[in-house]
Amino acid sequence: MTEPDSFDQRLRQRVNRGHPLDTVPVDLEPHGNIPNTPLAASTISFVLGAVFSLGTVLFLSGGLVYPWWATYQLGFFLAAWSAFHWGEFAVTAGWNRDKCSVDSFLLDNGVTYHIANGSALVEYLITLYLKPSSKTFPYVSQIGIILALSGQILRTAAMIHASTNFSHSVAFRKRESHKLVTNGVYSWSRHPSYAGFFYWALGTQLALQNTICFVGFAVTLWRFFSRRIRAEERALVQFFGEDYHTYRRRVGTRIPFIP
């Protein structure tokens, strides 16, 4: 390769090479509701980091006497929520760069998702204000914290292990590099990222001791993943044929009542 002999040639070569902070996915256009720029990504990371810091301080301090809503339970929820969204982007950027965009934060994840999290906060604050005794079962929150952390670890491990074979969207077209991953955490669950999110979400509601949202999350997520897994596995059977049939017979999903 010859060295560029002018400033203009060097500049064009640099532009064509692309900026290392660019996040332009190879085969999926971002939704466009959030600008897909390094500025947007850094701003979102800053905000999520601030929320995580606030939540962690509340959680580790055991909550504050004043204001009344500054509890360790709310602190854990805020920390878990912000860590989840930052982690989705960070893991995609680190192990699946070709699919990375600002949408990898999963903040543009549909209205229903935000309504669900908003409802969880509303239920918690209303019940805490009207009947604070309903939030005084520490063992329930402890189980929820363990479940949420376990779910987060499972999902993150699945995304890292699958690497470029992982996608936030169901793939209906097989890429040449797409391989069937059946080892590691995928030898325990066919869909460990789904199982991880399922238990993470239910864990956050146990941590908040939200009875209504716990039931609502369980039913809604079970229906969502049941349908998504059926659709995704039809595509995987087309991609991998008998290999996937064998894998499906051998390994379950680890989500209750979804074989």
* pTM to 2 decimal places: 0.91
Residue 149 tokens, joined:
């952390």
Q: HSE (CB half, 13 Å, CA atoms) of 243?
A: 9
Query: Under a CB-based contact definition with an 8 Å cutoff, are residues 151 and 217 in contact?
Result: no
Rounded-to-integer distance, Cα 208 and Cα 147, Å: 12
Residues 132-142, mean pLDDT to the nearest whole number: 97
Q: How confident is the model at residue 24 (pLDDT cuts 50, 70, 90)?
A: confident
Q: How many CB atoms lie within 10 A of CB 1?
A: 3
Query: Under a CB-based contact definition with an 8 Å cutoff, are residues 54 and 80 in contact?
Result: no
List pLDDT tens digits, range 170-205.
988 888 889 999 999 999 999 999 999 999 999 999
Q: Which has more pLDDT, 196 or 32?
A: 196
